[in-house]
Amino acid sequence: MPWPLIAAAPPRGGSRLSAALAPWLAVLPIALISVIPVLVVVSSLVNPDRETWDHLWQYELPEVLGNSFWLVLGVGLGVTVLGVSLAWLTATCHFPGRAFFNWALLLPLALPAYVTAFVWLGLLDFSGPLATWLRETHGILRLPPIRSRGGVILVMSLAFYPYVYLTARVAFQGQGRRLMEAAQSLGLSRQAAFWRVALPMARPGIVAGLMLALMETLADFGTVAVFNYNTFTTSIYKAWFSLFSLPAASQLASLLIFFVLIVALLEYQSRARRSYAVSTRAASTPGRIRLRGWRAALALAWCGVVFTLAFALPAGQILAWAAGVWAADFDARYLQFAWHSLLLSGLGALLVGGLAMTLAYAQRLHPTPAMRVTARLSTLGYALPGAVLAVGFFIPVAWLDNLLIDHLGFAGQTLGGTLVVMLLAYCTRFLAVSFGPVESGLTRVSRSVDEAAQSLGVVGARRLWRIHLPMLRVSMLSAAALTFVDLMKELPITLMTRPFGWDTLAVRVFEMTSEGEWERAALPAAAIALVGLLPVVFLMRNTEHAHT
């Protein structure tokens, strides 16, 4: 077959430069979006307003710092104890009910913490069903006060332990039984082997889960607001919406960022180390320690109690309340709330998914250290509390608004009154949620697949269309689903930056709970929890498959 002598190929210089530039043009704006709120908020530290600062130090910060400290300490301890013990039982032991609890213990992820919180408040309230029942049948008048530091810590531990449970379980499963057997053959008792082998090996995984839980704790707004437990996020909210002091809100946010970044750094480090632990998985054998008699009963009871308190009881109570108020409360407004929730979550998930895909693909085409750093930077937003992002985006957008009004003659709020701030904040906060599955999906596509397509004459956009998108379908779907559900549950960003009239289900829950109307908060909460079940089912299937 004749083949023309190769004409001089196009000089590499020009085409190479533009090929190298294109991904950066796509990636840099994404990185910029993530960095802006941090810069805005931190810059308020550089140029502090003395008066606000003094006021904060005198009246606000002592309480906020103390509360946050005890909260982080308490929740950290709580999620570690719950998560590690449950993970150990379901991953390495065999007892009646294990198969059920193995996935059921993930279910609390479906309930936003602020929902668990208001259910517990409602249950233990003086007029609540549990308190009433105890009073009338047993004559118990005083319950331990749920509206207390201990109460917040308990509820948050119940809501956030699945993060540790998940990572610890993966770590324990990855070890397999062989290492424990090796330790026992060297003369250690089973207990000693747990403390000296299994636990230290699982530590990176446990720490990673713990740090995620602590990030959620610091970022939480709904729970602490329901409990009237003043932390940074509620304080930011109050400064902005009660005192109308954006500088104060911004300065509080900058302090919060400082703490959050410490946690994020620890999480990042533990994640880097975790990969070593998992690599031994190939050598592991399945097989569980069979528990008998009182040990089995104890394991069953422990799993049962946690499951009941963290999921069964709150979920059941929500359904009961929702059923009670359904007839009286359900009306066209609810369809509107649901529609707003679906629309905003769907819009956000699409947007976030698109950005994540762009980022991951650029990193694929240009696997340079600079690109990797930029991608990491862009996804750092998962560590930033929604309240911080709300402030961090509102300030520059308001500034831009003024610019437009002053110089271009626009009337009134142009951007501030739209969804822009909210969507920007969504993107930053949840980019990592989408980026994770897409990136790991892409890394599973071996480089030689790219090269195979290229050698067959298929490159560029055609390769993306014919190879990568079809191969990534599942990853992109799971990315979109996870983001969608997180957005459904999202509270502080939506609450603080929604344009007038854009109330969602989550906002409705917040408004009802802040008035103590537990029954009426249950209806939107039930809807959120129902949607929230989706990714949990996803997660359960994935983690089960990975090890069978």
Partner 1 sequence: MLTLENVAQAYGRKQVLQNVSFELAAGEIGCLLGPSGCGKTTALRLVAGFESLQSGRILLDGGQVAGPDQALPPERRRLGLVFQDYALFPHLSVTGNIGFGLGSLPRREREARVDEMLRLVGLSQEARQYPHQLSGGQQQRVALARALAPRPRLLLLDEPFSNLDVELREKLSIEVRDILKHEGITALLVTHDQHEAFAMADQVGVMHAGVIQQWGTPYDLYHRPRNRFVAGFIGQGVLLPGVVRSAHQVQVELGMLQGVDAAECDGGSCLTFGIGTEVEVLIRPDDILHDDDSPLQAEVERRAFRGAEFLYTLRLPSGARVLTQVSSHHDHAIGEKIGIRLDVGHVVAFRRPPPDAPRGRA
List residues near partner 1 by CB under 8 A.
Answer: 1, 3-6, 8-9, 11-12, 446, 448-449, 451-459, 466-467, 470-471, 473
Alpha carbon separation from 213 to 158, 163, 391 (Å, rounded)? 11, 6, 23
**CB 546 → partner 1: shortest distance, Å?**
17
The residue among 488, 487, 481 whose CA lies nearest residue 536 is 481
The residue (of 301 and 469) whose beta carbon lies closer to partner 1 is: 469
The residue (of 179 and 449) whose beta carbon lies closer to partner 1 is: 449
**CB 19 → partner 1: shortest distance, Å?**
11
The residue (of 9 and 46) whose beta carbon lies closer to partner 1 is: 9
The residue (of 370 and 459) whose beta carbon lies closer to partner 1 is: 459
394 CB-side CA count, 13 A:
23
Q: How many other C-beta atoms can be found within 10 angstroms of the C-beta atom of residue 272? A: 11
**CB 10 → partner 1: shortest distance, Å?**
8
The residue (of 272 and 452) whose beta carbon lies closer to partner 1 is: 452
207 CB-side CA count, 13 A:
19
- CA dihedral sign, ordered 372, 374, 376, 379: negative
Q: How many other C-beta atoms can be found within 10 angstroms of the C-beta atom of residue 528? A: 25
The residue (of 467 and 537) whose beta carbon lies closer to partner 1 is: 467
Q: Across the strands, what pairs with 94?
A: 290
Query: Where do we find the tokens 């397509």?
Result: 453
**CB 460 → partner 1: shortest distance, Å?**
9
Between CA 55 and CA 278 the distance in angstroms is 50
Q: Left if phi > 0, otherwise alpha if psi is -120 to 50, otherwise beta: which for 9?
A: beta
Assign 307 to helix, strand or coil.
helix
- Contacts for 528 with CB less than 8 Å, ≥ 6 apart: 112, 115, 341, 488, 489, 505, 506, 509
The residue (of 1 and 411) whose beta carbon lies closer to partner 1 is: 1
**CB 537 → partner 1: shortest distance, Å?**
24
**CB 9 → partner 1: shortest distance, Å?**
5
**CB 539 → partner 1: shortest distance, Å?**
23
Residues across the chain: 548
The residue (of 9 and 328) whose beta carbon lies closer to partner 1 is: 9
Assign 290 to helix, strand or coil.
strand
Find the radius of gyration of the CA atoms of the chain: 26
**CB 466 → partner 1: shortest distance, Å?**
8
Q: How many other C-beta atoms can be found within 10 angstroms of the C-beta atom of residue 293? A: 7
Between CA 232 and CA 253 the distance in angstroms is 7
Q: Left if phi > 0, otherwise alpha if psi is -120 to 50, otherwise beta: which for 310?
A: alpha
**CB 473 → partner 1: shortest distance, Å?**
8
Do the Cβ atoms of 472 and 442 come closer than 8 Å?
A: yes
Token duo for residue 497: 């930056």
**CB 447 → partner 1: shortest distance, Å?**
8
Between CA 336 and CA 338 the distance in angstroms is 5
- CA 99-155-316 angle, to 5 degrees, is 60
**CB 27 → partner 1: shortest distance, Å?**
23
The residue (of 46 and 456) whose beta carbon lies closer to partner 1 is: 456
- CA dihedral sign, ordered 181, 185, 186, 190: positive
The residue among 248, 65, 224 whose CA lies nearest residue 156 is 224
Between CA 253 and CA 34 the distance in angstroms is 15
**CB 440 → partner 1: shortest distance, Å?**
16
Between CA 224 and CA 232 the distance in angstroms is 10
The residue (of 81 and 370) whose beta carbon lies closer to partner 1 is: 370
The residue (of 273 and 462) whose beta carbon lies closer to partner 1 is: 462
**CB 450 → partner 1: shortest distance, Å?**
8
The residue (of 191 and 448) whose beta carbon lies closer to partner 1 is: 448
The residue (of 65 and 467) whose beta carbon lies closer to partner 1 is: 467
The residue among 474, 493, 259 whose CA lies nearest residue 388 is 493
Do the Cβ atoms of 106 and 539 come closer than 8 Å?
A: yes
**CB 367 → partner 1: shortest distance, Å?**
14
The residue (of 327 and 456) whose beta carbon lies closer to partner 1 is: 456
